């Protein structure tokens, strides 16, 4: 059976070009950039070349790029660092949103336990916050605003430039978790007034376990990991040279083909949205415009998401769900709840995240299979029966 | 390693006894759509024997598999035998469930008991109330 992979927001396939580019740095050029000898110094050169490439893609300066193990580490470091400097100045108020990734939310929760005042802004029913909300929330003791660039579950692209403006005007540090945006959207950290930005290589056909944190010159950054002078004392540990090289190739490649890839994915995405919208009592989660080119997320009333995923998997379709049952937690997706989906409905969600290598024919197959599986599960669902008989009110 | 055992997948992909029974002698429904699981069991009882059993389930793979297995285990049994079936026996018969899915088997046991209680109530049959704890609802999910 063929496999149709539509879970690219979880991870992407590492491209052949990236793998080929990484391989020499495991066998032939295996040096440690901290070594003084020629083998080490060659690795140092490669490291700095990679840094320059990443910087160029974001319109940053190479000295503003710090390599990390991925998006979660970058988010942790950016937030904890801003909190540390805030604490020194007596500023303990942090603004974020209810729809952030857990790498942000759990870090904020840790700070809350340490006495920080964490304010999570509400989003509208498509997942947006407004710059005005941020402006109104900023106080004299605000030390950080952290708002994601593009939502990993529902694809909402936040008004980052406008939020960046507000923060810059008020003199508050602005961090954005851009893990789902880098390599998918044009980003200019200077134009968009971004002070710190997290990214992860495996979301754009790079390898897993490597990411970066952009930190604007003049913004304080403390280390999360101690033990060496790497990354200007901000991130100890021998640099993951193969991974960093892979990241730099992947990001360059992504930006080189950004427009054609997005053009292709938007056509597929909209075809998928239109097809799934025809299923009764279903609803798209997130906006139709200002939406990630690769993201489709639906709720289907009367069914539960995990069983939907398992049946789709049996038909070769690899997708994801905001159902509680897939995560091991009891509550369904915090993002779906934040945009106002009731618990009952949020349990029946399906996320399909595309890549440029998906085809129209695959989209047709997905639409057909999702329709069948939803229908099959509804036939055995007591909730669906109650909805049909009127004992329970339809919400979608 | 796969999330579920082969037996769980078999009962999920090819569930036994799906559906409803018209004029059922006992109907039990447990769970809550807010928690993401609802199980409904229909019983046809003759001469103290469970002659037929059907289920409808809104829930994850293990909830559907647990319902299917529980119905298989009590079909053709006496009411007393059916009442003696525990969630642990359902889990064992399925070859195990992930820890965070054990509550699905609890729901299956509860759904069967709830349907039998309904049969007793409808027919004015005396029974030991301690055998039928109140619907544990969402708490069932939190206990495991």
CATH number assigned to the domain comprising residue B19: 3.90.1010.10
3-state secondary structure of B94: coil
Domain regions of chain A by residue span: 16-256, 258-389
pLDDT at residue B132 in the model: 82
In a domain, B131, yes or no: no
Contact A343 B58 (CB under 8 A): no
Q: Confirm if A320 and A10 have CB atoms less than 8 A apart.
A: yes
Q: Does B28 touch chain A (CB under 8 A)?
A: no
Nearest to B58 among A303, A326, A342 (CB): A303
pLDDT at residue A289 in the model: 96
A275/A370 Cα distance (integer angstroms): 10
What CATH class is the domain A16-256?
Answer: alpha beta
pLDDT at residue A369 in the model: 98
For the annotated catalytic residues of A, the residue numbers are 325
Q: Does B13 touch chain A (CB under 8 A)?
A: yes
Q: How many domains does chain B have?
A: 1
pLDDT at residue B134 in the model: 65
Active site residue B60: no
Contact B101 A347 (CB under 8 A): no
Contact A325 B64 (CB under 8 A): no
pLDDT tier, B137 (very low <50, low <70, confident <90, very high otherwise): low
Contact A323 B34 (CB under 8 A): no
Contact list in A for residue B15 (CB cut-off 8 A) is 380
Best interface-test mutation with B: which of A300, A306, A323, A379 has the largest number of B CBs within 10 A? A306
What is the ipTM score, two decimals? 0.91
Q: Confirm if A62 and A52 have CB atoms less than 8 A apart.
A: yes
In a domain, B140, yes or no: no
Q: Does B56 touch chain A (CB under 8 A)?
A: yes
Return per-residue pLDDT of chain A as tens, 396 residues.
Answer: 899 999 999 999 999 999 999 999 999 999 999 999 999 999 999 999 999 999 999 999 999 999 999 999 999 999 999 999 999 999 999 999 999 999 999 999 999 999 999 999 999 999 999 999 999 999 999 999 999 999 999 999 999 999 999 999 999 999 999 999 999 999 999 999 999 999 999 999 999 999 999 999 999 999 999 999 999 999 999 999 999 999 999 999 999 999 999 999 999 999 999 999 999 999 999 999 999 999 999 999 999 999 999 999 999 999 999 777 766 666 899 999 999 999 999 999 999 999 999 999 999 999 999 999 999 999 999 999 999 999 999 999
* A258-389, CATH topology level: 3.90.1150
Would the pTM of this model clear 0.90, i.e. be above it? yes
Cβ neighbors of B14 (< 8 A, separation 6 or more) are: none
pLDDT at residue B1 in the model: 52
* Averaged pLDDT for residues B101-128: 94
pLDDT tier, B140 (very low <50, low <70, confident <90, very high otherwise): very low
* Averaged pLDDT for residues B89-115: 94
Best interface-test mutation with B: which of A342, A375, A380 has the largest number of B CBs within 10 A? A380
Residue B54's closest chain A neighbor by CA? A380
Q: Confirm if A32 and A47 have CB atoms less than 8 A apart.
A: no
Contact A330 B60 (CB under 8 A): no
In a domain, B143, yes or no: no
pLDDT tier, B142 (very low <50, low <70, confident <90, very high otherwise): very low
Alpha-carbon distances, residue B17 vs A41, A308, B55, B65 (angstroms): 69, 20, 6, 11
pLDDT tier, B135 (very low <50, low <70, confident <90, very high otherwise): low
In a domain, B49, yes or no: yes
pLDDT tier, B136 (very low <50, low <70, confident <90, very high otherwise): low
* Averaged pLDDT for residues B53-68: 96
Domain that holds residue B57: 6-125
Residues of A with CB under 8 A from a CB of B: 302-307, 310-311, 314, 323-326, 328, 330, 332, 342-344, 347, 379-385, 392
pLDDT tier, B144 (very low <50, low <70, confident <90, very high otherwise): very low
pLDDT at residue A323 in the model: 75
């Amino acid at each position: 059976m063929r496999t149709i992979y539509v879970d690219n927001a979880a991870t992407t396939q590492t491209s052949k070009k990236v793998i080929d580019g990484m391989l020499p740095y495991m066998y032939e050029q295996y040096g440690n950039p901290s070594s003084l000898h020629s083998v080490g110094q060659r690795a140092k050169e490669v490291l700095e070349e990679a840094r320059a490439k990443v910087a160029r893609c974001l319109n940053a300066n190479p000295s503003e790029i710090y390599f990390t193990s991925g998006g979660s580490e970058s988010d942790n470091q950016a937030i904890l660092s801003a909190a540390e400097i805030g604490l020194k100045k007596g500023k303990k108020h942090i603004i974020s949103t209810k729809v952030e990734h857990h790498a942000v939310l759990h870090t904020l929760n840790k700070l809350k336990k340490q006495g920080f005042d964490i304010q999570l802004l509400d989003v509208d029913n498509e997942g947006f916050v407004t710059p005005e909300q941020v402006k109104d929330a900023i106080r004299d003791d605000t030390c950080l605003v952290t708002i994601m660039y593009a939502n990993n579950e529902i694809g909402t692209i936040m008004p980052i430039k406008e939020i960046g403006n507000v923060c810059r005007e008020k003199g508050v540090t602005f961090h954005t978790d851009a893990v789902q945006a880098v390599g998918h959207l044009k980003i200019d950290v200077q134009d968009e007034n971004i002070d710190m930005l997290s990214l992860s290589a495996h979301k754009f056909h790079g390898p897993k376990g490597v990411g970066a944190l952009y930190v604007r010159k003049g913004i304080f950054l403390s280390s999360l990991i101690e033990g060496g002078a790497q990354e200007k004392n901000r991130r100890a540990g021998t640099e993951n040279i193969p991974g960093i090289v892979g990241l730099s190739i992947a990001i360059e490649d992504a930006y080189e083909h950004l427009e054609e890839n997005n053009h292709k994915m938007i056509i597929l995405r909209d075809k998928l949205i239109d097809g799934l919208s025809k299923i009764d009592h279903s609803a798209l989660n997130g906006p139709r415009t200002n939406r990630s080119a690769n993201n489709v997320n639906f709720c289907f009333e009367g069914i539960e998401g995990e069983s939907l995923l398992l049946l789709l998997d049996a038909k070769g379709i690899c997708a994801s769900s905001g159902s509680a049952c897939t995560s091991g937690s009891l509550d369904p997706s915090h993002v779906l709840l934040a945009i106002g989906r009731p618990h009952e409905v949020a349990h029946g969600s399906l996320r399909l995240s595309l890549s440029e290598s998906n085809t129209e024919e695959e989209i047709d197959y997905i639409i057909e299979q999702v329709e069948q599986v939803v229908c099959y599960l509804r036939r055995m669902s007591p909730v669906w029966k109650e909805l049909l008989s009127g004992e329970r009110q339809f919400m979608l | 390693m796969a999330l579920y055992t082969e037996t769980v997948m078999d009962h999920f992909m090819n569930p036994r006894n799906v559906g409803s029974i018209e004029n059922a002698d006992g109907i039990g429904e447990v769970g809550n759509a807010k928690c993401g699981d609802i199980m409904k069991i229909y019983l046809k009882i003759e001469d103290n024997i469970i002659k037929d059993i059907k289920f409808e389930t809104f829930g994850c793979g293990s909830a559907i598999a647990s319902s299917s297995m529980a119905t298989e285990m009590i079909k053709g049994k006496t009411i007393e035998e059916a009442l003696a079936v525990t969630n642990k026996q359902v889990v064992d018969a399925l070859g195990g469930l992930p820890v965070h899915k054990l509550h699905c088997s609890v729901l299956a046991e509860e759904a069967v008991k709830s349907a039998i209680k309904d049969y007793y109530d409808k027919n004015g049959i005396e029974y030991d109330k301690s055998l039928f704890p109140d619907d544990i609802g969402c708490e069932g999910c939190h206990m495991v």
